[in-house]
Amino acid sequence: MFKLQENNTNAKREVIAGITTFLTMVYIVIVNPIILQDAGVPFDQVFTATIIATIIGTLWMGLFANYPIAIAPGMGLNAYFAYSVVGGNEEITYMTAFAAVFVSGIIFVALSLTPFRQKLIEAIPDNLKHGITAGIGLFIAFIGLRLSGLIADHPANLVTLGDLHSPEAILALVGLAVTIVLMVLNVNGALFIGMAVTGIIAYFTGQLAFTEGFVSTPSLPDGFIISNPITAIGDVVQHGLYAVVFSFLLVTIFDTTGTMVAVAQQAGLMKGKSMPRARQALLADSVATSFGAIFGTSPTSAYIESSTGVAAGGRTGLTAVTVAVLFGAAAFFGPLVGAISGLSSITAPALIIVGSLMMGAVAHIDWNRLDEAFPAFLIILSMPLTSSIATGIALGFISYPLLKIVKGQFREVHPLVYLFAVLFFYQLAYLPH
């Protein structure tokens, strides 16, 4: 089924690779509920939904696409969901926001079955793609700094240095130091180990207590968030969440496609410039996003942490299946994760470091061409300052074709980019955002 011999691997190596990938990305079951809790979603709901979406997407990837790539709710989009879509508009509840996630997932499923997905990816300028990645990285690092108390509100300049003498800030700094040292030393599972060490320190300093034990049966307090697809579509139309749906869709497509290609290249699974079974691989993410919204979590994405499993020898879907099984086991440790989620200093270092890794995309921006660099700069700058990924994307897509027209290079811009520019302009000018 997994063609182990054909891919020069064996079951033991694949299982070890799966364990390695799991350890590097299991932090998401802690971080994701913390972020979505700020949108009002019950912790148990997000915790269980995160694991369900991860299992569905990763199993699909392993069984149907036969790739050693894991799928889970993506960093950045969870922050956008909580702080921009829900937090930025009093009329939008998390129930309504999940309707937008569901609709974006359904559209992604449809695009995954057609050649339009490839045309969309090719139409978007590379510098805008890199700007989006870097902007999201800066945004989630900013969130990590605020959650940990390392920066605080300022009446004139919006933010300032926080109280570095507070127990929370000290714990976050210690956790950040431990985690970044492990990352620099290339220790597998550095983010997870860093959170574990920080949690142990918090426990012995009295900042962390396990009042409800460690193990319990998984639960979904709200049941199905999306029970009627027609109602979900109606919610999107009623609240004018078109830009939100497009932002979810755009970022998911770029993140997933880029990560899949990168991991497949690392594993030597690419056939020239094409990725075999790409349709099934993309369906893994789009199906997981749709089901994740039904149960109560933000959009999923392929995880770059899968590269650690590939480095450990993973070459087939058996690695992904192993990851899914381990996440299934993690579902029974809700009280443990719940206790940790009550102390942001434990998870803030992971947000800051993941943000720094995503900021690496700025190296690929052509800074010598202002017509290419400035739209990317606008995206990077505006995402954290407006607390909105959608606003950052909109400003980039509006400014890019305008600068190309001024420069007389309007023919270089794909018609789809002009279409997106008009839609984003309309959204910023006339719709709530």
Query: How is 367-406 classified by DSSP, letter by letter?
Result: TT-HHHHHHHHHHHHHHHHHT-HHHHHHHHHHHHHHHHHH
Return the number of other C-beta atoms located less than 10 Å from residue 373's C-beta: 17
Domain boundaries of the chain, sorted by first residue: 11-430
Q: Which of 260, 259, 284, 261 is nearest to 273 (CA)?
A: 261
Query: Per residue in 216-257, pLDDT tens?
Result: 899 899 899 999 999 999 999 999 888 889 888 888 887 788
Torsion of CA 46, 111, 258, 233, to 10 degrees: -30
pLDDT at 90: 83
Task: Over range 184-206, report the average pLDDT.
Answer: 89
Is residue 333 within 8 A of residue 159, CB to CB? The reply is: no
Answer for the pair 206, 240: CB distance below 8 angstroms, yes or no.
Answer: no
> How many residues appear in the chain?
433
Mean predicted confidence (pLDDT) in 92-106: 95
- What would the pLDDT profile of 307-363 be if each residue is shown by its tens digit? 878 877 889 999 999 999 999 999 998 888 888 877 888 888 888 988 888 888 899
CA distance 175 to 203: 13
CB 329 within 8 A of CB 82: no
Percent pLDDT > 90 in the chain is 46
**CA distance linking residue 412 with residue 417, whole number of Å:** 10
User: Which of 120-124, 410-414, 417-421 has the lowest average pLDDT?
Assistant: 120-124
The torsion angles phi and psi of 220, rounded to 5 degrees, stand at -125, 90
Cα distance between residue 324 and residue 51, in whole Å: 9
Instruction: Count CB atoms within 10 A of the CB of residue 212.
Output: 12
First to last CA, the chain: 48
Of residues 305 and 199, more confidence is placed in 199
Query: pTM for the complete prediction?
Result: 0.80
Q: What confidence tens digit (pLDDT) does each residue in 138-153 have?
A: 988 898 898 888 988 8
Flag whether pLDDT at 202 surpasses 90: yes
